[in-house]
Structure 1
């Protein structure tokens, strides 16, 4: 659509320039006959003015078109990002429930009631699958990994149990989760010093 408008504008402007040029030539020819051989500088400057005006209008149009294209790209990118992270608050509210299920599974597995364990595992898996289907992913960090402050939160430092664990993760206290590429809860870890 913009290409058609631009094409029509440039055709109209070039037709107007041609009309103006032919009228200037007629006027210039008459002036030259009156002034007998004195060259007229007005025709040349008028032509230059028209060409500059046309160039300015083309430049304005191209800038406006480019600005509009950038706006469309930016808004579509923002819309995709909004859809991707729209569930963030709800997912963050459900993370403590998921943590409670993890702790309950550990405690129930110590008991000898297998039916209770299976029931809680089914509910836990269903909740976890639902959250994963909405884009939630667990941040993969475990004991022995190098500590990176961009992906984990150190809650304390303890003396390293061995030399190879200095500056590394000793224990993961709370799991971290991300939604797409954005971390919505950093894992809380203990690092060795």
Structure 2
């Protein structure tokens, strides 16, 4: 009986030990398998990183080229826009300067018309009437071109528009008032072509 019990006990222990060994071997195999899978995963991750880095490097070069080209195009567009604006300003200035010089040359003709017509009564001579019509047409044309006379008599003296050549004391007139105009002044648009030559009171 004792021997049978001993045999049963040793058999149970052997089975138990065999089961434990089998479980340990399973765990070891699973660990080894997991470590292999992890190693494979790491390797594949490294490879994918390398490929991605290569792609990134290629993309970076292209992006740099695109940025450089965009920058160059933007600079050229800005330069062209500046050139266009500068050219427009220069053109308008040249036109204004040319127009002003022509107006300056025409004004003495207007002055001579006024001097000549001041000595003739209207309606007395058909020739004088013809000259008066030409004078009025000339003034209309100048007005349409932007040339306008500067108001002087009765206005307060303004050195921007008037050139005082005489001074008089007059109690009937206010201080610094233009009482007489010797030569009419003209403006072309917003610039003075010729100052009015005037006499100022007080």
Does the TM-score normalized on the shorter chain lie above 0.5? yes
1:28-177 correspondence to structure 2 within 5 Å: 55=67, 58-109=70-121, 113-133=124-144, 135-156=145-166, 158-162=167-171, 164-177=173-186
Bigger CA radius of gyration: 2
Contact 1:178-1:185 within 8 A present in 2 as well: yes
How many residues are paired up?
A: 159
* CA shift digits 1:59-90 (9 cap, x unpaired): 44323311211211221233234334433333
Q: Once superposed, what is the RMSD of the aligned Cα atoms?
A: 3.8
Contact 1:136-1:180 within 8 A present in 2 as well: yes
Contact 2:100-2:188 within 8 A present in 1 as well: yes
Whole-angstrom distance in 1 between the partners of 2:118 and 2:132: 10
Structure 2 equivalent of residue 189 of structure 1: 198
Unaligned runs of 5+ in 1: 1-28, 34-42
Q: SS where residue 120 of structure 2 aligns?
A: helix
Say which structure, 1 or 2, has more relative contact order (CA 8 Å, 6+ apart): 1
Structure-2-length-normalised TM-score: 0.59
Whole-angstrom distance in 2 between the partners of 1:67 and 1:150: 38
Q: SS where residue 181 of structure 2 aligns?
A: strand
Structure-1-length-normalised TM-score: 0.61
Q: SS where residue 96 of structure 1 aligns?
A: helix
Task: Pick closer, same or farther for the CA change 1:63–1:146 going to 2, 3 Å.
Answer: farther
Whole-angstrom distance in 2 between the partners of 1:50 and 1:112: 88
Moved more, 89-98 or 161-170: 161-170
Deviation, 1:116, is 4.0
* CA shift digits 1:36-58 (9 cap, x unpaired): xxxxxxx9999888867765554
